[in-house]
């Protein structure tokens, strides 16, 4: 590409090069980078460490700081990248002749981190005072469940003092012209089932074995999976359900057998007394979670079966997307005014927004990326620089309407 690179794109590419990939994210590197940028741009900034890992907090004070604030939240960590599956070095942020930037985090979600930072810099530079406080938080560990990130942070006095009225966080790329906006997420339940049963010689008909009991419960659960799959795929593609509207259930862990692998180091002629299965279940916010818990109890009610949760939430709040929610009305109207169509959906996976919504605070998941394949967590993740720049302009035009509401 000829000509000088857009300055915000350069900042984006610099940020992509910081190795915040799990399992050992360089949070000191990302923190130093962000603090330095805040200083350069004249943004108020502090690093909060009371919950363990660093959280970078930036602020633009409003003319009426007593009003609930607007929070722009982004996570700085990224998932690992398998070098041999990529066509370029995943942390080199190589830009090709079409302006496509290839790196882990281009979509999820270092683009949004830097767009929030750069748009805040534009607001400071404009010198125009806005009504509410505007906060930016850059948080760690979203990709591994937020146990040392957003989850404890929302419980702190620091967070309460920010008096958040609405939060904007990540969404997904959209392969079409329209943009998706997420107003809720499916509850992630990770269920671990253990079965115990009779043992004996592998040559006999032993009854009520652990594996047999586990198989019965697995079959019931996979039947439920099949019904949900059918529900998702029936009807018109246009008006039918989306992934976020149905419950997915996947058998992801399976363990049994006497002996230690690898093959063939097992006692093939000994009936094991214990067998285990783990499921990743994602439940839409429209489903009653107490009823679903009852369902799991029923599936595992046979004698010798028990279950525990590796991940569980009893709460899964949604943000209203009707006109009586003035945050939503303003967001939607502001997007329409600049010719952008927002399609509200339920996020199929889990993000930091769930902790904010569960406090009763409205939150929208929105990444201003359209006409782009969804490549989060995938090989050769990329974003075009023009899409990045347009996203920055979109935020610049929409956000003041929320901050001035």
Residue with smaller CB distance to Zn ion, 259 or 373: 373
Which residues are identified as catalytic?
77, 142
Angle at which helices 110-126 and 385-403 cross, to 10°: 60
Q: Which does 349 bind (CB under 5 to 8 A by kind): ligand AME, Zn ion, none?
A: ligand AME
Q: Quick one: what does residue 111 bind among Zn ion, ligand AME, none, with the CB cut-off 5 to 8 Å set by partner type?
A: none
State the residue number with the nearest CB to ligand AME: 349
Confirm or reject binding of residue 351 to ligand AME (CB under 6 A). Answer: yes
Tell me if 61 is assigned to a ligand binding site. no
* 192-217 exposure pattern, b = at least 16 Cβ within 10 A, e = fewer: bbbbbbeeeeeeeeeeebbbbbbeeb
Partner touching 397 among Zn ion, ligand AME, none, CB below 5 to 8 Å by kind = none
Q: Does 237 count as an annotated binding residue?
A: no
What is residue 242's DSSP assignment?
-
User: Residue 188, interface with ligand AME (CB under 6 A)?
Assistant: yes
Nearer to Zn ion, 13 or 104 (CB): 104
Q: Is 379 annotated among the ligand-binding residues?
A: no
**Which does residue 109 touch among ligand AME, Zn ion, none (CB within 5 to 8 A, set by kind)?**
Zn ion
Instruction: Please give the C-alpha separations between residue 90 and each of 27, 106, 138, 304, 381, in angstroms, as whole numbers.
Output: 18, 10, 22, 48, 8
Ramachandran area for residue 400 (φ above 0: left; ψ -120 to 50: alpha; else beta): alpha
Q: Does 257 bind ligand AME (CB under 6 A)?
A: no
Residue 189: DSSP 8-state: E
Of 97-105, 109-117, 232-240, 382-390, which segment contacts Zn ion by CB under 5 A? Answer: 109-117
What ranges in 244-368 are assigned the alpha helix state H?
289-299, 326-337, 353-357
Can you say whether the dihedral through the CA atoms of 47, 48, 50, 53 is positive or negative?
Answer: negative
Q: Is 399 in the site for ligand AME (CB under 6 A)?
A: no
- Measure the CA–CA gap between 272 and 259, rounded to whole angstroms: 10
Is 280 annotated as belonging to a binding site? no
Question: Is residue 81 close enough to count as binding ligand AME by CB under 6 A?
Answer: no
On whether 14 is known to bind a ligand per the annotation, the reply is: no
109 binds Zn ion (CB under 5 A): yes
Report how far residue 375's alpha carbon sits from residue 386's, in angstroms, rounded to the nearest whole number.
17
The residue ranges that bind ligand AME (CB under 6 A) are 145, 188, 311, 349-351
The annotated binding site for Zn(2+) is made up of 75, 108, 143, 170, 377
């Amino acid at each position: 590409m000829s000509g000088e690179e857009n300055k915000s794109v350069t900042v984006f590419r610099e940020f992509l090069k910081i190795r915040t990939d799990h399992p050992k994210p360089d949070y000191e590197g990302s923190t130093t980078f962000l603090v330095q940028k805040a200083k350069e741009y004249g943004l108020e900034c502090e690093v909060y460490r009371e919950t363990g890992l660093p959280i970078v907090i930036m602020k633009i004070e409003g003319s009426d700081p007593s009003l609930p604030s607007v929070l722009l939240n982004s996570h700085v960590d990224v998932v690992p990248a398998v070098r041999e599956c990529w066509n370029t070095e995943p942390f080199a942020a190589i830009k090709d002749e079409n302006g496509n930037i290839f790196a882990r985090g281009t979509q999820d979600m270092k683009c949004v981190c830097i767009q929030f930072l750069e748009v805040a810099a534009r607001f400071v530079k404009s010198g125009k005072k806005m009504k509410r406080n505007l906060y930016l938080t850059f948080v760690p560990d979203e990709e591994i469940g937020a146990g040392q990130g957003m989850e404890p942070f929302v419980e702190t006095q620091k967070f309460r003092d920010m008096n958040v009225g609405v939060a904007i966080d990540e969404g997904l790329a959209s392969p079409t012209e329209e943009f998706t906006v997420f107003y809720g997420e499916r509850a992630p339940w990770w269920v671990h089932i253990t079965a115990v049963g009779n043992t004996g010689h592998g040559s006999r008909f032993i009854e009520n074995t652990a594996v047999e009991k586990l198989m019965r419960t697995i079959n019931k659960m996979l039947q439920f999976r099949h019904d949900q799959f059918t529900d998702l795929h029936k009807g018109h593609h246009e008006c039918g359900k989306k992934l976020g509207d149905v419950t997915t259930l996947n058998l992801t862990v399976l363990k049994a057998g006497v002996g230690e692998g690898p093959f063939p180091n097992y006692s093939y002629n000994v009936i094991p007394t214990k067998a285990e299965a783990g499921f990743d279940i994602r439940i839409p916010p429209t489903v009653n979670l107490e009823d679903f818990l009852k369902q799991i109890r029923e599936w595992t009610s046979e004698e010798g079966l028990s279950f525990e949760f590796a991940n569980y939430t009893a709460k899964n709040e949604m943000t209203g997307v009707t006109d009586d929610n003035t945050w939503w009305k303003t967001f939607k109207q502001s997007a329409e005014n600049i010719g952008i169509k927002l399609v509200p959906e339920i996020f199929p996976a889990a993000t930091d927004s769930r902790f904010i919504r569960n406090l009763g605070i409205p939150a929208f998941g929105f990444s201003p990326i359209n006409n782009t394949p969804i490549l989060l967590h995938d090989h050769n993740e990329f974003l075009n620089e023009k899409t990045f720049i347009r996203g920055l302009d979109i935020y610049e035009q929409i956000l003041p309407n929320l901050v001035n509401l």
